[in-house]
Amino acid sequence: MRPFPILNLSLFREDIGWYLRCLEDMIILSLQDFGIAGTRIPKLTGIWTGQNKICAIGVKITRWVTMHGFALNVSPSLAHFRFIIPCGIADRSITSILQETGNIPPKNDVLNSLCSSFRQIFDVKLEVQNAR
């Protein structure tokens, strides 16, 4: 799942590190809804469960407007990751909500959780648009 939040950071805080940490907080909060304890690893952007990455973050910011977002691993085939070095980190593995819980949550449950935690972390009203 690859949501793409768009914010004008000039209305919040012109600080890329702050924005990345807020996205991490949001995802950690959402993972709790599925019984997963997400954490940070110092100097490695993203969300982890133990030594395994469950969410990658990749943003673009132009004139303090955010683009792109994050990739939360809900139920990808983890076998595909054996052919690459995910995020350029050779000594870590990838995991997913399915791998951690044994269940694939409905897409709407994941989206609702992410939207709820986004509203909470950023204190905003959301306008959700589906990709075409």
Is 128 among the domain residues? no
The count of other CB atoms within 10 Å of the CB of residue 106 is 10
Q: Give the total number of structural domains in the chain.
A: 1
Is 2 among the domain residues? no
Catalytic residues: 87
Residue 128 has pLDDT above 90, yes or no: no
Task: Please report the pLDDT score of residue 1 as a whole number.
Answer: 59
Task: Provide the CATH number for the domain around residue 52.
Answer: 3.30.930.10
- The domain of 43 spans 9-122
Percentage of the chain beyond pLDDT 70 is 94
Is 49 among the domain residues? yes
Give residue-wise pLDDT tens across range 90-116. 888 999 999 999 999 999 999 999 999
Map the chain to HEC letters. CCCCCCCEHHHCCCCHHHHHHHHHHHHHHHHHCCCCCCEEECCEEEEEECCEEEEEEEEEEECCEEEEEEEECCCCCHHHHHHCCHHHCCCCEECCHHHHHCCCCCHHHHHHHHHHHHHHHHCCCCCCCCCC
Is 4 among the domain residues? no
Is 127 among the domain residues? no
Is 84 among the domain residues? yes
Is 109 among the domain residues? yes
Q: What is the mean pLDDT of the chain?
A: 91
Structure tokens at 22: 């807020």
Q: Mean pLDDT throughout 36-59?
A: 94
Is 1 among the domain residues? no
pLDDT band, very low/low/confident/very high, at 83 (cuts 50, 70, 90): confident
